[in-house]
Amino acid sequence: MQLNQKIKDFYDASTPLWLNTWGEQMHHGYYGPDGNREVDHQQAQVDMIEALLEWGQCPIKVSRFLDAGCGVGGSSRYLAQRFPDAVGLGVTLSPVQANNGQRYNREAGLSDRLTIKAQDLFTLSPEDVGTFDIIWSMESAEHMADKQGLMDLFYSLLRPGGQLLMATWCHREEPPALSGKEQKILGNICKLYHLPPMVAISTLGKAAKLSGFSNVATDDWSKAVEPFWGAVIESGLDPRNWPGLIKAGMSTIKGAWAMRYMRQGFTSGAIAYGMVRATKPAG
């Protein structure tokens, strides 16, 4: 089975459980630079959006944005409300996510400005969808094997002066080389979450520069997001969520099992939560 089909099937099955447990934001929370800020975990997810907007040096005025790998569009709706004159497009491989996202859009009164659809990101082109002031990539790039191709695509879809803002799962920088134990942890995560091999944050920065981006910056926010996995594991152990987990099927159950590897990855330092910002030159 091709990787995209596995990803689609995984999120089609697991999304209803996540929505019932956590709501529409399907990404890590932000707990301050050192991860020590005590905050409600769902508020921390909203704080992550604001933190990335600030660190990413988001333009003050935004007329069009793309949410690349949008889930059910939690970030998309936040951006649409944050920039009331903006029109947005969100894409996901999962029809279940897209259908839920469109429902949320209607409930929020945003259907006229925000579209969420099930489509492979790599099938987008400037000729078909135009160009954007912001491309938002929140925990989706880890699913895409061709990182250089991804950066090239993002570059083509941005207007001159447009900004890429990305948060994604990575492995720690080398050297020293990843140990056998670290490689095993990462391998288990990639297998159970249907990911290609992870790359280092610096690899993404280099790819952005090769694509033609300027003002490229990267950062490691692992400490800032690490507390989130304790909360996710706690929710998975709550008996009230077990019927939904069983209903979601084996792939979701395996995904729940993978949470312990994520926790191990952050504890050991094998995983890095990578941030990338980059600008398409204006001239």
pLDDT digits (tens, 9 = 90+) for 6-51: 999 989 988 888 788 778 999 999 999 999 999 998 999 999 999 9
Contact status, residue 37 vs residue 59, Cβ threshold 8 Å: no
Contact status, residue 233 vs residue 260, Cβ threshold 8 Å: yes
Task: Give the E-state strand segments of the chain in sequence order.
Answer: 64-68, 87-92, 114-118, 132-138, 158-171, 214-220, 271-279
At residue 22, the pLDDT reads 79
User: Residues 174-187: what's their mean pLDDT?
Assistant: 96
Contact status, residue 42 vs residue 23, Cβ threshold 8 Å: yes
pLDDT, mean over the chain: 91
Strands 271-279 vs 114-118: parallel, antiparallel or unpaired: unpaired
CATH number of the domain at 155, please: 3.40.50.150
Number of domains composing the chain = 1
At residue 237, the pLDDT reads 44
Work out the percent of the chain whose per-residue pLDDT is above 90. 78
This prediction has a pTM of 0.93
pLDDT at 244 over 90: no
Which tokens go with 139?
Answer: 């925990």
At residue 21, the pLDDT reads 79
pLDDT at 63 over 50: yes
pLDDT at 131 over 50: yes
Task: Tell which residue, 121, 123, 156, 159, has the closest CA to residue 140.
Answer: 121
| Segments forming the whole domain that contains residue 16 | 3-279
